[in-house]
Structure 1
Amino acid sequence: MADPLVTEALKKAAVAWVSVGGEPARALWCLPIDDALYVVSGPGEQAAPGLADAAEARVSLRGDHGGRIVTWPAKVTRVEPHSEEWTVVAPQLATKRLNAPGPATALAERWAAECAVNRLAPAGDPEPPGDESEAAPPRESPAARPAKRPFRLHRVRGATRR
């Protein structure tokens, strides 16, 4: 039986922060079905390095206010294409996929061939809330550059009254 806080947070989850193998958490869209979260990853979908082959992960769910509600360990299982679970879950995921290229049936078939659908089920007690912010420093990126001072053609002086 899952913790009541985890169960309630799962019901309203649309995005989960998932960390695999101590890597920084990534925001992934998900769909809650039967006290578990289902996540699609792979080519043409969201990037979730290591999730397809993982056995466990750490999941954080946030509220409407942006703050963390709960963080819990999850057991990760891959949903095998065309299995009984797949026939129930894949169509639901495909209809909830925003900006899907093509019809839901074609999307589910592409997932079966190229992507991974994973089930993240609660596997232990949630982590106690801490005082730390869990904010991570920005990742290195070639797109980042130092901010420059704004250009001013003339010196701006305060307005004078007459």
Structure 2
Amino acid sequence: MTKQLLDQALVEEATKKSGLVWVQGPGSPVRALWHVWHDGALCLVGDGPGEQPLPSLVDGGTAEVTVRSKDKGGRLVTWSATVAELAADSPAWAETVAELKGKRLNAPDGEAMPERWARECRVLRLTPTGATAALPDGPLSEAPLPSPATTRRAMPAALPRLLARRGRKK
């Protein structure tokens, strides 16, 4: 019983403090997702335009969640969860969205975000089952998933002249 309580405390504290978790549903690759810990479960929003993808996370399904250390970035714990999709008109959905809204960065629609989530997105609760996995012995590194996102673009043609002008004294 003591190990189970320690595992439960580790899952809750580690997940609360980590802003990013890796989630894997059955038959899908592992994905890094932002989340909120609310009322004993990990809560996610996604599958809508401009939101994170939540493939293979279905209502009544299962998932594996891996939590990293906030300060060192290393794996702390991997735990099993049951997935529940919250109905957009339920009180649980409203409470969860209020928590998620405070953590969502760079939202394109600001205060209208909950209405968009109700129309176009899914809000999920991943509740721990109590089972944790042993830490792996070796590395589990993988190549990144394909994505249309990019961080490198061509330099604007006028930039070298603007930078050269900056260095001149008047």
Does the pair score TM above 0.5?
Answer: yes
Q: Which runs of 5+ in 1 are unaligned?
A: 144-162
| Equivalent of 2:43 in 38, 63, 74 | 38
Instruction: Note the alpha carbon deviations across 1:48-69, whole angstroms, 9 max, x for none.
Output: 2122456110000001211100
CA positional deviation for 1:110: 0.7
CA gap of 1:38–1:5, structure 2 versus 1, over 3 A, is same
User: Greater helix percent: which structure?
Assistant: 2
CA positional deviation for 1:142: 9.5
| Equivalent of 2:8 in 3, 21, 33 | 3
2:67 matched residue in structure 1: 61
Identical residues among aligned pairs (%): 44
Counterpart of 1:73 in 2: which secondary structure? strand
CA positional deviation for 1:140: 6.2
1:134 matched residue in structure 2: 140
User: What are the residue-to-residue correspondences of 1:93-132 with 2, within 5 Å?
Assistant: 93-104=100-111, 106-132=112-138
Q: Is the 8 A contact 1:6 1:70 kept in 2?
A: yes
Q: Which runs of 4+ in 1 moved over 3 A?
A: 137-143
CA positional deviation for 1:124: 2.8
1:82 matched residue in structure 2: 89
Counterpart of 1:40 in 2: which secondary structure? strand
Name the CA distance, whole Å, in 2 between partners of 1:141 and 1:6: 30
Rg comparison, structure with higher value:
1
User: TM-score by structure 1 length?
Assistant: 0.79
The code of the aligned residue for 1:59 comes to V
Q: Which runs of 5+ in 2 are unaligned?
A: 150-170
1:157 matched residue in structure 2: none
CA gap of 1:141–1:76, structure 2 versus 1, over 3 A, is closer
Q: Is the 8 A contact 1:20 1:54 kept in 2?
A: no
Q: How many residues align?
A: 142
